[in-house]
Amino acid sequence: MSYNNYGDKGYGNPYGNDYEMSNVNPYASEGGQYNQYQQPVGGAPYGQQGAGAPGGGSDDMMNFFREIDEIKRSLVQFDDNVDRIEALHKRSLAEVGSEEQQTDRNLQAYVEETSNLSNQLRTRIKSLESRSQRDATKKTQVDNVKKQFMSSIQRYQSKEAEYRQKYRDAAERQIRIVRPDASDAEVREAVENGESSQVFTQALMSSNRRGQARSALTEVQSRHREIEKIERTMMELNQLFHDMEILVAEQDTAVQHIDEQATQVQQDIEQGVGHTDRAVKSARAARRKKWYCLGIVVLIIIILALILGIYFGTK
């Protein structure tokens, strides 16, 4: 998404409201500076750090755990953003007019910021996943942050679904004020279509309800827009969660393949040991047979010598 008006020092709020965030990056550390998505500033991109230390050396492991820590901080930021989004939804339901418009802008800013952050998290976790399949320690760490991220996504989905229903309820209340006799189908149609609904068309044509209808229409239109935005966010979250599920399935398949390979290697080793044992036994048997044959030959020679000795000795 295109919302990116936060500056280079962290998650700054351009609207200067109660939800303004610090311009100081809380994720700066002695190890270096990071941008709002906890990526190293001026450093190597994720997926390349530690690449020069093959074989799981100490530098590679340090880089790995540094990335894990950064991802965990990003997950904390993701959860904080969800809390702020929930608070702004709650405020939006209680406000009207210019105040509601300001809250809506702030809400949209946080939604887009959180969308960007979630895409960053998905990319970074996927990068670590691809480099951790053969290391049990790394795999455990990646699995932990992956599960935490999926849990955070589900929590965000739950909050959005909750407030989608609250926006619908607010819109329906306004419609009932204008048309108390409206059927459930007419109310649903009015919530979904806004000003094009026949409920408002008829109310606006009535002279004694025109002002009330216009006020209700304005609020219903606002709630309708919020519902549409929430539905778009939920679609993105569903896709994000699906992507993470695929990543889990791919990892399980890779682990299963590695286990199968290890099992096959073990079987090959066992078969090789069996062949070696049989070869050793065969060699020993062959040597015994050779000694038996040699003994028989020697015995025959001795017998022949005795016979010849006796024969020539009697002459």
Give domain 58-254's CATH number out of 3.50.50.60, 1.20.210.10, 1.20.58.70, 3.60.15.10. 1.20.58.70
pLDDT digits (tens, 9 = 90+) for 194-240: 655 566 666 555 545 667 777 777 788 888 889 999 999 999 999 99
Q: Judge whether residue 176 has pLDDT over 80.
A: yes
pLDDT digits (tens, 9 = 90+) for 18-74: 444 433 343 443 344 445 444 444 444 444 444 444 444 677 889 999 999 999 999
User: Contact at 8 Å (CB) between 167 and 93?
Assistant: yes
Q: What is the pLDDT of residue 183?
A: 82
Bridge partners of 34, per DSSP, are 40
Tell me the pLDDT of the chain averaged across its residues.
76
Looking at beta carbons, which pairs linking 224-230 to residues 24 or more positions away fall under 8 Å?
A: 224/171, 224/191, 224/192, 224/193, 224/194, 226/89, 226/92, 226/104, 226/163, 226/167, 227/164, 227/167, 227/168, 227/171, 227/191, 229/108, 229/111, 230/160, 230/163, 230/164, 230/167
User: Contact at 8 Å (CB) between 171 and 293?
Assistant: no
What CA–CA distance (Å, rounded) separates 305 from 294? 16
Q: Which residue has the higher pLDDT, 74 or 307?
A: 74
Q: Judge whether residue 90 has pLDDT over 70.
A: yes
Q: What is the pLDDT of residue 34?
A: 45
Residue 182 CA to its chain's centroid (Å): 45
Task: Name the CA radius of gyration of the chain, rounded.
Answer: 38
pLDDT digits (tens, 9 = 90+) for 97-150: 677 788 999 999 999 999 999 999 999 999 998 888 788 899 899 999 999 999
pLDDT digits (tens, 9 = 90+) for 227-240: 999 999 999 999 99
Boundaries of every domain in the chain: 58-254
Residue 73 CA to its chain's centroid (Å): 15
Which sign does the torsion angle of CA 124, 126, 132, 136 carry?
Answer: positive
pLDDT digits (tens, 9 = 90+) for 269-300: 667 666 677 777 777 878 888 888 888 888 88
